[in-house]
Amino acid sequence: MNLKVRKPPNDLAGSGWYEILPEPPPPEILDSTINADWVVIGGGFTGLTTARRLLENCPDDRIVVLDAQRIGWGAAGRNSGFMIDLPHDLQSKDYSGGTTRDRNQIKMNRFAIGYAKSMVNEYGLHSFMDTGGKINAATDVQGMNALRAYSEHLRELDESFEEYDAQVLKEITGIDYYAGGIHTPGCVQVQPAGYIRGIAQGLLQSSKNIKIYENSPITEIVSGETKRIKTPKGEVLSNRVVLAVNGHLESFGLFSKRLMHVFTYGSMTRQLSVDELNRLGGRDQWGITPAHPMGTTVRKVKEGRIVVRNVFTYNGNMETTKDQVSQTGKRHDKAFRNRFPMLKDVSMEYRWGGHLCLSLNSAPAFGEVEKGVFASGCQNGLGAVQGTLGGILIADLASGRDNPMIKSLIEPGEPAKLYPEPFMTIGAKMNLWWNHLRAGKDL
């Protein structure tokens, strides 16, 4: 069956992570007919990891990666950068799932983080990865209860962590907004756009068999033993295609009415002056996820800026609007002002939104969807680590490399069918509204 693409991605406004990097070299755009052994569509965590793993599995094969936008412009370059090893179920009250499921997930997440670290080492990307763990912090009684439940669960799982009181949190962050927190050492934090662009560059430098084309949206995959993967100006002929486009799988007509398209939003301050940094105090860099999954994520980065992320919106049409970005910006300003009263003159320099893909049963969209066409997407908001994992595993599945984790990944089955419209949209919006309200001071 031919797969005609209904909608290309259109991520608005560059994220701070992307904008603070040097201007990238001009994009190479596909403008002719070429042949390849593998085509990977999408150059985010999933697609670039797929390409790297294929390079390992089939070193002599020609691999072409195509992205509709610049590498790092999509969600992979606009997220908060937490690669989390421990359970982090955004659809739960305190991130936990069942014990057996969580043990398995931790094993797989750590395998993916290990793989990410190996890319950082090979491509010299250390300045884009901080391996100091992360803090899950609470602001009120409700949040402290969620932290307690989470730490109980970590004990059950035999996982090590450290409990911080308000004083320790003030020493680390310079602010006294948080009542308590849990530090977990296995999480790594990346500068997402720097990391993603660095991997693309590393792949290109490490092998002449890799080609990456940017600003080259796929418009159609014409089926056949040899498939024709078409862009507006060119096409690639290949027997095997991996779709690493996350929620845009639905644009290709796949997993239809099974994927929930959610956006979340970030803002980054201007660079703080030396005086402002001194006034704030605390460490050079730190990262906090909220005890309540709908709360605010905050990072202080070594470039002397603060990044906040909060608010989820349900956008079934896979697009956010300038208005939503600007409305959410007001929530970011409030979260920032509440936490950083000593920085009242500091404003946000960049604001953006980005696309996440979730399923009702938290299952990924993974597997061979047509002969020679493979898909890996829908990481339920945790694509930094699970996109990396999905990229490794889809490459292994497609190239016939035995990996027992494939079975674990597909165990939950395929993403469950969504409720019929308009109930799905109304239900999702009500659910988000209620959960944002419950996040209280954590928001």
Ligand X SMILES: Cc1cc2nc3c(=O)[nH]c(=O)nc-3n(C[C@H](O)[C@H](O)[C@H](O)COP(=O)(O)OP(=O)(O)OC[C@H]3O[C@@H](n4cnc5c(N)ncnc54)[C@H](O)[C@@H]3O)c2cc1C
Question: Contact positions toward ligand X, by CB under 6 A?
Answer: 5, 8-9, 41-47, 66-69, 74-76, 78-82, 217-218, 244-246, 248, 264-266, 309, 354-356, 377, 379, 381-385, 387
* Identity of the residue, 179 or 190, whose beta carbon is nearer to ligand X in the bound complex: 190
* Residue 405: burial class (beta carbons within 10 Å; 0-12, 13-18, 19+): middle
Cα 291 to Cα 62: distance, rounded to the nearest angstrom: 45
Q: How far is CA 307 from CA 199, 249, 285, in A?
A: 23, 29, 11
Minimum separation from the CB atom of position 375 to ligand X (A): 10
Minimum separation from the CB atom of position 333 to ligand X (A): 16
Cα 277 to Cα 7: distance, rounded to the nearest angstrom: 44
Minimum separation from the CB atom of position 356 to ligand X (A): 5
Minimum separation from the CB atom of position 98 to ligand X (A): 20
* Identity of the residue, 155 or 233, whose beta carbon is nearer to ligand X in the bound complex: 233
242 and 230 Cβ atoms separated by less than 8 Å: no
Minimum separation from the CB atom of position 275 to ligand X (A): 29
* Identity of the residue, 14 or 383, whose beta carbon is nearer to ligand X in the bound complex: 383
Which token pair is 99? 């014990």
* Identity of the residue, 42 or 329, whose beta carbon is nearer to ligand X in the bound complex: 42
* Identity of the residue, 139 or 267, whose beta carbon is nearer to ligand X in the bound complex: 267
Minimum separation from the CB atom of position 274 to ligand X (A): 29
Exposure class string for 154-167: b at 16+ Cβ within 10 A, else e: beeeebebeebeee
Strand locations in 202-317 (E): 210-213, 220-222, 227-230, 235-238, 240-243, 260-269, 286-290, 297-301, 305-314
CB-CB neighbours of 426 under 10 Å? 12
**Nearest residue to ligand X, by Cβ distance, number only:** 383
Minimum separation from the CB atom of position 123 to ligand X (A): 17
* Identity of the residue, 83 or 280, whose beta carbon is nearer to ligand X in the bound complex: 83
**Residues in the chain, total:** 443
* Identity of the residue, 164 or 263, whose beta carbon is nearer to ligand X in the bound complex: 263
What 8-state DSSP symbol labels residue 418? P
